A and B are shown apart, each in its own frame.
Chain A
């Protein structure tokens, strides 16, 4: 479906062999996110911690390949890189149970959810997350069979080769199977869709001229340079 078929060239050696172009992300799904917010979750504008998964969409214009340049808008000193494990759907998943949810997963890849830093998660503008090239993916879809346990992976983020964040999928509030079950209760995911499980907070920041690199055990690494936008 995507007009820019960039993400289709990501190696994907198990069915359905290519991404659909639909990418969903999950926020405050890593315990560090809630910890950082602290008691603020009980006050306006939130008034309560999230109950259902907090989801967002990375539209097709955001999808980008490993190595692609991420453009930092003028006047924005730095961007956030949310390092996420992405689940790639293998079979149409509608209202699946947690017990069987992972049967619907084809494999996994690394998702760099790039954002303009923003303080409020109440009703943030999509211009923080939906800019062109703000969702590099890759480097390949690793088959589910190769990943022994998606809930025990270490995610390391480097900026210019300096390790800036280490996070684990063991600290997700909704682990992979539970998240897919809860999401598919109200929205059907189809083969090739990506559901990112959420990044740890605070997300590392990257300035113009720097390069981010995300590594996940067994999935390789995803590296992208950041440059100031020409206009």
Chain B
């Protein structure tokens, strides 16, 4: 099952795809027939156009744990050598954003890029969990787009928060997809489109540290709680994005997460 959290007409609602089977697949036939794949059905029965709701991160988010350089190709792209231990960093609640939100690009920066990632959501507390039991602690998945502004990179406690923990720089959604509906999270294709042009492609089978390993590793020193989320890293193909650009991240079976880049003026700066 896929579910979203949306704000509509004065309240926050749980929403499901109005056409569940087609939610992540726009086919020629239903475009011709005028049916929309992205309408949502609120728990109270109303069916609403996707653009008429405000999409929130699709679950109550706890600790945000992110992986750097967890795809061999992306590590190569950024000129990194093999690692002994996952490169993990943390993100705060202020950085979270929902589907169709805006991310600010400050004037004057040279390189701001998206990162399409599989987000793994913890459902049961996990403390010292071995890898063969790790997946029992996963409640579901969503798409994450973890923006970075490389201009601000400094060599102190990398990646520093000014690069990776900016307001609106962590987009999650559109749907929370239950783990039971994702039979093989280790083989999902990821794609990013900028203004309709395909710029990034990868597959979670190329993760350097896979999901069971990450849960075993993290839970060996920190207790994971329901709502904690692991952003598993991004493959190669990150490109610069500018105000006005529309960035769409897709993962097989999880849908399409869209957001746009905004300029300082949109934020009164």
A3 is an interface residue with CB less than 8 A from chain B: yes
Taking CB atoms, residues of chain B closer than 8 Å to A4 are 225
B155 is an interface residue with CB less than 8 A from chain A: yes
Q: Which of B205-252 contact A (CB under 8 A)?
A: 220-227
Contact B269 A122 (CB under 8 A): no
- Give the docked Cα–Cα distance between A123 and B78 (Å): 15
Contact B167 A186 (CB under 8 A): yes
Taking CB atoms, residues of chain A closer than 8 Å to B155 are 45-48, 122
Taking CB atoms, residues of chain A closer than 8 Å to B85 are 125
A164 is an interface residue with CB less than 8 A from chain B: no
How many chain A residues have a CB neighbour from B under 8 Å?
A: 44
- Give the docked Cα–Cα distance between A46 and B127 (Å): 34
Query: What is the predominant secondary structure among interface residues of chain A facing chain B?
Result: loop
Which of B2-10, B40-48, B86-94, B192-200 is near enough to bind chain A?
B86-94
- Give the docked Cα–Cα distance between A54 and B165 (Å): 12
- Closest residue on chain B to residue A58 by CB atoms: B90
Taking CB atoms, residues of chain B closer than 8 Å to A123 are 87, 157-158
B201 is an interface residue with CB less than 8 A from chain A: no
Contact B156 A27 (CB under 8 A): yes
Closest beta carbon of chain B to A191's beta carbon, Å:
12
Q: Which of A177-206 contact B (CB under 8 A)?
A: 186-190
Query: What is the predominant secondary structure among interface residues of chain B facing chain A?
Result: loop
Q: Inter-chain contact count A-B, CB under 8 Å? A: 112
Taking CB atoms, residues of chain A closer than 8 Å to B222 are 59, 61-62, 126-127, 130-132
- Give the docked Cα–Cα distance between A175 and B228 (Å): 33
A162 is an interface residue with CB less than 8 A from chain B: no
Task: Indicate with 1 or 0, residue by residue over B38-82, a CB within 8 angstroms of chain A CB atoms.
Answer: 000000000000000000000010110100000000000000000
- Give the docked Cα–Cα distance between A112 and B224 (Å): 21
Contact B167 A73 (CB under 8 A): no
Q: Which of A115-151 contact B (CB under 8 A)?
A: 121-127, 130-132
Contact B162 A188 (CB under 8 A): no
How many chain B residues have a CB neighbour from A under 8 Å?
A: 38
Contact B167 A94 (CB under 8 A): yes
- Give the docked Cα–Cα distance between A54 and B158 (Å): 9
Taking CB atoms, residues of chain B closer than 8 Å to A53 are 162
Taking CB atoms, residues of chain B closer than 8 Å to A131 are 221-222
Task: Indicate with 1 or 0, residue by residue over B84-122, a CB within 8 angstroms of chain A CB atoms.
Answer: 010111111111000000000000000000000000000
- Using A61-B63, A125-B85 as known contacts, say yes or no to A187 and B156 having CB atoms under 8 A apart: no
Contact A59 B90 (CB under 8 A): yes
Contact B154 A55 (CB under 8 A): no
6 additional contacts (CB under 8 A) given A3-B225, A27-B157, A61-B225: A60-B62, A62-B222, A126-B90, A130-B221, A130-B222, A187-B161
Shortest beta-carbon contacts, A-B, top 8: A3-B225, A57-B90, A59-B63, A55-B161, A54-B156, A127-B221, A123-B158, A46-B155
Measured CB to CB, the residues of A under 8 A from B are 1-4, 20, 22, 24, 27-28, 45-48, 50-57, 59-62, 73, 94-95, 121-127, 130-132, 186-190, 231
